Structure 1
Amino acid sequence: MTLILFAAPAVWPEYETILPAALAEAGIAARIVTEAPDPAAVDYIIYAPSAPLQDFAPYTRTKAVLSLWAGVERIVGNASLTQPLCRMVDPWLTEGMVEWVVGHTLRHHLGMDRHIVNPGHVWDATCPPLARERPVAMLGLGALGLAAARALQALNFPVTGWSRSPKAIAGLPTDHGPEGLDRVLQAAQIVVTLLPKTPETENLLDARRLALLPRGAAILNPGRGALIDDTALLAALEAGQVGHATLDVFRTEPLPPDHPYWAHPRVTVTPHIAADTRPWSAARVIVENIRRGEAGEPFLHLVDRRRGY
């Protein structure tokens, strides 16, 4: 069996020993390469969407393309990609996202900035409300959104989840569809966006929807940069309608040095670090899907091309 890893050159050293070890642990004999003189001999493609490979047609024997990223918007519309595409759903990646979301939610909830950054040495003894008094909207209820929602619930935040289609989740109030989104936003003092980028989610938070938020609400976006209309967000920040935006993802990355977000006093930029693929755990997700492919079992985390994720 031949596996090929298509990714930036710096990625291969991270997997060079970990991936063979995971294959051996699963009892799978395979040759791993980073170049394919004969594409028709490749059984599985391990793929980072930033890789230069764009034409999948020559890979006629390939049983699946296994993405190292959770987001697949760069590849899902590729017409030459006829093989099954699986996205990365990795427990360690999920843990990283939960930590980022919980950390920044608590930061805004507790008003930590006024004490950490206090150049005037102001004695501000204002006490924040309890978490149970701070409604949170979780936009997106996939693996990442649901895990983050559960973690916030464990701290007593009243979390309401939103998705594009109906979802019944035990112990978590949910809403769906365009009208449901409006309802959820109207009650949310903190909004977390953990949705994929699709034509339906682009500019989901536009000027009209930002105006629905309680004045001074905080927005956390570790999902995709295109979920928020940047011009509308900057206007809402200037007007005080949005109190603060903590953003981990952007339409252009790295964020250009002259972008207004860098200098805005009510914006925190984190450099796409909310969740990362950890090679040790990601290798085991990849190997499990290879095992399933060889056993004729359904692949895990198969992408629905119609929905875009």
Structure 2
Amino acid sequence: MTILYAAEAEEAAQWTDSLRALDPSLEIRFWPDWGDPATIDFVVVGGRSPGDLSIFPKLRAIQSTWAGVNHLLRSPGLPSGVPIARMVDRGLTGSMTEFVVYQVLDEWRRGPDLRAAQRDGRWLETMPRLAGDCRVGILGLGTLGTDIAEKLSGLGFSLRGWSRSAKEAPRGVTLFAGAESLPAFLNGLDILICILPLTAETENILGRSLFDHLPDGSVLINVGRGAQLNEADLLAALESGRIRRAILDVFREEPLPSEHPFWRHPKVTITPHVAAITRAGTGADDILENYRRAMTGRPLLNQVDVQKGY
């Protein structure tokens, strides 16, 4: 029984060291030196499509080290019927929640205004705004979105959540489900957070037709996927004042090209896709568990619904 790690060498070394610390008996090979394809039982992939995985006739499962698997589902040579698992480890969840909560608090307590005043030597004495007066909407209530909602709810923010289908909402969150509910969900929001998976339905969802339902002066935080944002529509919304500020951690092209207008836009805050990064130390447990499940024919942790795309 053999694991093939199909990703960049530096990333592979981190993960395989963690896996071998948990189980020294594991046989691990590295792309493209896999030997006999018929001996590969389990493939681990990173943030890029590794190539044709249909060449492995006895493959039992594919494990992504990323939370998003859109790159994998769209790749040629994906073997039909082989279960796929995405990574939702406790380190990634905690990191994402910390990032988003920080950005929400920084915005609501006027962090950018205070930093600008310091640069100008101005004493900007403003009345602090209370969390309960801030209406926050979260697009996407999966594992990450739910954890963000729970933490923001604990701080007293007024919360709404939107998902493609109805589900149980976290305590303190008003739930909206389905495309027809989007206008009501967006109405009156101060801050909109996108943490949706990338699917055919969510590509370009952050565009003019959505922005038109937001009030003037709202703030956008995108930690989902870069392809969910229509960049031209965002620039137009920033110019009109519909969007007052955008905090972007993900982009269509990464690294973001140096000539891109986002870099120098006074209303855009850029972080280089660092809101949450899967850590080998906290994710290796799940990979090993899924390997064992695959070898015994059991469902995987965080198994992907290929039809939904996540």
2:28 alignment partner in structure 1:
32
Q: Report Cα offsets for 1:150-189 as digits up to 9, x if no partner.
A: 1111110011100111112252211011221111111210
Question: What is the distance in 1 between the residues matched to 2:179 and 2:167?
Answer: 14
Structure 1 Cα separation of the partners of residues 170 and 151 of structure 2: 14
Q: Which amino acid aligns with 1:64?
A: A
1:106 corresponds to? 105
- Give unpaired runs (5+ residues) of structure 2: none
Of stretches 296-305 and 191-200 in structure 1, the one that deviates more from structure 2 is 296-305
User: Are residue 55 (structure 1) and residue 56 (structure 2) matched?
Assistant: no
Q: Note if contact 2:150-2:170 (Cα within 8 Å) is conserved in structure 1.
A: no
Query: Judging changes above 3 Å, is the alpha-carbon distance between structure 1 residues 96 and 73 closer, same or farther for their aligned structure 2 residues?
Result: same
SS of 2:284 mapped into structure 1: helix
TM-superposed CA distance for 1:59, in Å, is: 0.8
The residue identity in structure 1 corresponding to 2:167 is K
Give the counterpart letter for 1:7 in structure 2: A
AA aligned to 2:129 is P
Contact 2:146-2:170 at 8 Å conserved across structures: no
- Aligned mates of 1:23, 1:149 — CA distance in 2: 36
Query: How many residues in Structure 1 have an aligned counterpart in Structure 2?
Result: 304
Q: After TM superposition, where is structure 1 displaced by more than 4 Å over at least 4 residues in a row? A: none
SS at match of 2:287: helix
- The AA in structure 2 aligned to 1:37 is G
CA distance in 1, matches of 2:232, 2:7: 33
Gaps of 5+ in 1: none
AA partner of residue 304 (structure 1):
D
Q: 2:44 aligns with which of 36, 40, 46?
A: 46
| Partner SS, residue 273 of structure 1 | coil
Matched, 1:66 2:63: yes
Looking at structure 1, the residues matched to 265 and 276 of structure 2 have their Cα atoms a distance apart, in angstroms, of 24
How far apart are residue 210 of structure 1 and its match?
A: 0.8
Q: Which residue of 2 aligns with 1:89?
A: 88
Return the letter of the residue paired with 1:159: L
Is the CA contact 2:220–2:245 (under 8 Å) kept in the aligned structure 1?
A: yes
Distance 1:86 1:16, change over 3 A: closer
Q: Hey, what does 1:203 align to over in structure 2?
A: 204
Match of 1:188 in 2: 189
AA aligned to 1:244 is: R
Residue 136 of structure 2: aligned partner: 136
**Secondary structure of 2:161 counterpart:** strand
Question: When the two structures are superposed, what TM-score results if normalisation uses the length of structure 1?
Answer: 0.95
Matched with 1:289 is: 290
SS in structure 1 opposite 2:246?
strand
Larger CA deviation: 13-22 vs 221-230: 13-22
Question: Matches of residues 194-273 of structure 1 in structure 2 within 5 Å?
Answer: 194-273=195-274
Identical amino acids, percent of aligned pairs? 38
Task: Measure the CA separation in 2 of the matches of 1:131 and 1:244.
Answer: 18
Conserved in 2, the CA contact under 8 Å of 1:77 and 1:305? no
Root-mean-square deviation (CA), in Å? Answer: 1.3
CA distance in 2, matches of 1:143, 1:174: 15
AA aligned to 1:30 is: L
Q: What is the Cα deviation at residue 85 of structure 1?
A: 0.9
SS at match of 2:100: helix
TM-score between both structures, scaled by the size of structure 2: 0.95
1:127-154, Cα deviation, whole Å (9 max, x unpaired)? 1320001010000001111111111111
